[in-house]
Amino acid sequence: MYHHVKKLMYTVNIGEPDVRFGNMLLEQFGGANGELAAAMQYTIQGWNCVDDLGRRDLLMDIGTEELSHLEVVGALIRMHLKPLKTNRQAAEADPLVTIAGGGGVALFDSMGNAWTANYLKVTGELDVDLRSNIAAEARAKIVYERLIDHTDDPGTIDTLQFLMTREITHMKAFTAALDSLEKAPFSIGRLKPTPGIVDEYFNGSTGDGDEGDTDMRGPWESSFDLHLVESPMNGGKGLSVGEVNGKIAGEDRGRQDESQKATTSVADETLGKKGAGSSRAGNGRVATAKRGR
């Protein structure tokens, strides 16, 4: 059940309206990394999250807050777009909003692209969704930062600073929710990756470029058991697909990964919600359903 409270989550004041800036702000209203996308992504994930009532509550808390952010950024945009309604020169900053929308906010981004559900990342795999949410918060943060860089209006900066700050708050909460699942960091889903191949970093870009770029070394080639494999094109042996396919560790292929799955961890029983026990039963069911061989 939703209930609207006639109060903004953050009070919005601006000085002089800036219609071009108002148009840029639409990016956070109806854009790919905007507040509606965040609100819908977390809310839909939450509705689907029936076997982890703790994290479902988290998703609903933050999804609902994002809707409040949409209201705040919408109020800010309307104030900046106000001159569109009466001033021809101002109207040219956003003809779509002026002519089709009458100067009000609608679900378009700063370039007039219609909002789409394609922006949402909803996989139904809790840990995968939490990773998407952490990345979504990081994107929203950087968009707000760039918006702040393009206005001098103190009231506008004040509001954007609030919205930007909350993205980091959410990033912390989603990170804590992911960490507390106590999953091994590279254990995604049910199946194990193929041994051998999983640790091969393929050196797919080599030689020297016109901008001074060259074949560089970094921890991305050697951390987490990774090691560098050269392309056969450069005299290397390439990925060990021939050694692995159908030969090594055949019994490991398609086998269950024993790591903690993405559902309620034992510690969540302290949340005291009724579903904690049944969620663990649900986890066991998923773990054994398909891979008993």
**Bridge partner list, 188:** none
Nearer to Mn ion, 33 or 151 (CB): 33
Give me 168's structure tokens. 């980091």
- # of chain residues touching Mn ion (CB under 5 A): 6
Strand locations in the chain (E)? 200-203, 227-230
Nearer to Mn ion, 76 or 229 (CB): 76
Least CB distance to Mn ion at residue 160 (A)? 11
Residue 37 vs 81, nearer CB to Mn ion: 37
Answer for which of 56, 69, 78, 141 binds Mn ion (CB under 5 A) is 69
CB of 193: closest distance to Mn ion in angstroms? Answer: 31
Q: Which phi-psi region, left, alpha or beta, contains residue 11 (left: φ > 0; alpha: ψ -120 to 50)?
A: beta
- Give the 3-state secondary structure of 108-151: ECCCCCECCHHHCCCCCCHHHHHHHHHHHHHHHHHHHHHHHHCC
CB nearer to Mn ion: give 162 or 201.
162
Contact between 170 and Mn ion by CB under 5 A: the answer reads yes
Q: In whole angstroms, how close is the CB of 168 to Mn ion at the nearest point?
A: 9
280 binds Mn ion (CB under 5 A): no
> In terms of C-beta density within 10 A (0-12 exposed, 13-18 middle, 19 or more buried), how is residue 181 classed?
buried
Distance CA 167, CA 66 (A): 9
User: What is the b/e burial string over 151-177, where b = at least 16 CB atoms within 10 angstroms of the residue's CB?
Assistant: bebeebbebbebbbebbeebbebbeeb
Interface with Mn ion by CB under 5 A: which range of 27-35, 203-211, 226-234, 252-260?
Answer: 27-35
Least Å distance, CB 124 to Mn ion, is 21
- Binding Mn ion (rule: CB under 5 A), the pick from 129, 153, 167, 257 is 167
Of the pair 63, 83, the CB lying nearest Mn ion is at 63
What is the smallest separation between the CB atom of 115 and Mn ion, expressed in angstroms?
15
Q: Tell me if 183 contacts Mn ion by CB under 5 A.
A: no
In the complex, which residues of this chain contact Mn ion (CB under 5 A)? 35, 66, 69, 137, 167, 170
